[in-house]
Amino acid sequence: MRSIIRIFLNRILRISVCSRQILPLLLLSTFSVSAYTGEIHLKNGDRISGKIIREDASIAVIDTNAAGRLHIEKKFIEKIEPDKKKEVASKNEAKGEEGKSEKACLWEGKFSLGADESGGNTKTSQLNVSGSLNRKTDSDEFTASGSAYYGSSNKKMDTQEWRALLRYAVSFKNKSWYRFVKIEGDHDRFNDIGYRLVPSLGAGYWFSDQEDFKALLECGLGYEHTSYRSGGGDKSQTVLIPRIFLDKKLIGNLRVSENLKLYPSLSYGGQYRLYSETSLINPINEKLALRFTLIEEYDSNPLSGVKKNDYRVITALDYSF
């Protein structure tokens, strides 16, 4: 068990070194996520009206009817003024609702497609498709996501894998703390996994949930059931699931993210799985982004003839809606 913890901590230290440089700035910055109607006065005399959905120490994000969503750096902004008339109207409308407050709700979706093709002495092709849907309010969050991978070499399939996740989280009174329930499922033909299901529940903490830097740590308790394609019998076990997620803005809109999960077995001492997904995202415009992802998987106790370590490099185009 000590070796498992040591591997997990070493991985966390590797991916968090560069984040230490920006933590002091984050502590000094102010951040607002309450959307309101207003007008941005630029230093060149121009004015932009719309719904201001995000503002921090370096950037303001505004939704406009004519130009869509705009990201404006603070160095170009003279001042930001809220629309007093709409503010009063909103208050009057709230009073007419007999004290009922409607929670802010935001749905976000993403669809990704990636393909690689090579020729010559060896002909290889790979295809990966993924998608996600997320709804987040001031008190809860729902996430559904899935991905599929297919690869062939010399017209012979050598990769077939899919993953799916459903997750629901609810905040405690302290908004940084939350509890969650989720179910994960996956299939990996060439690792002999017909299907694997892992329902779990647990709690987590948001260290930062800002635009420039996001960081959370959570831990769940789950029941893992695996059905093998070779017919060697199913395997069921209780697992602990610590997870760390980091998302950091680098230069301009370029971002890097890390999603790291460990699955140490509580039923079989010394056995564990590790899943790491590291991505570099370069936005092209408001809807499209180019993404490079490295996925690493490790199983300390695979079936005979199956390698412990597996990795995949993905180049994909992301479409947000």
Q: What is the pLDDT of residue 23?
A: 41
Give the residue from 295, 289, 312, 313 showing the smallest Cα distance to 110: 289
Q: What is the pLDDT of residue 122?
A: 67
Q: How many CB atoms lie within 10 A of CB 209?
A: 15
Q: How many CB atoms lie within 10 A of CB 295?
A: 20
Cα–Cα distance, 58 to 8 (Å, whole number): 34
Please give the helix or strand (H or E) that residue 16 lies within, else none.
helix 2-16
Reported as a pLDDT band with limits 50, 70 and 90, residue 295 is: very high
What global pTM score does this model have? Answer: 0.66
Q: How many CB atoms lie within 10 A of CB 317?
A: 14
If DSSP codes are grouped into helix, strand and coil, which group holds residue 75?
helix
Delineate the domains of the chain, giving CATH numbers in brackets. Answer: 31-96 (2.30.30.100), 108-320 (2.40.160.40)
pLDDT in tens, 18-42: 444 444 433 333 344 456 788 888 8
| Percentage of residues of the chain with pLDDT beyond 70 | 80
> Mean of the pLDDT values across residues 270-298?
94
Q: What is the DSSP string of 138-152?
A: SSEEEEEEEEEEEEE
pLDDT in tens, 96-137: 544 444 444 478 999 999 987 766 666 778 899 999 999 988
What mean pLDDT is reported for the chain?
83
> Mean of the pLDDT values across residues 204-218?
93
If DSSP codes are grouped into helix, strand and coil, which group holds residue 235?
strand
